[in-house]
Amino acid sequence: MNKNKNMSYKSRYYSFVYAISGLKLLLAEPNVKIHFLATVVVIIAGYLKHLSSNQWIAISLAISIVWITEALNTCTEKLCDFACDNQIHPSIKIIKDIAAGAVLIAALTSCAIAVIIFFIQ
């Protein structure tokens, strides 16, 4: 039983190591640098405006959704590029465009939430 517990802890440890490695790779992507800058600006603006707890929850969820969609979009693009040996394929273009569209939806929704919180309320 102890051996299984040790393997379980080791496996969980490596899960975190791999996840952190994935975040580092994600941060190296050009579009993610824009998301990072936007995230920092919104957090600083929120701090300066003394947002309420509910406003911070909305901002945090909006930021998270953009980051999650960008990560999934990056995975989709890398997988498609790998599957097609970086060759242009009409079906793969559709898949990549839809994934990028998901990021755009998330980003626009986040901007709308920011406008409501920072300028309308």
* Active-site residue, 70 included: yes
Catalytic residue among 70, 74, 103, 107: 70
Q: What is the CB neighbour count within 10 angstroms for residue 22?
A: 13
Q: What is the spatial distance between Cα 35 and Cα 22, in angstroms, rounded to a whole number?
A: 16
Q: Residue 120: helix, strand or coil by DSSP? A: helix
Residues recognised as catalytic: 70
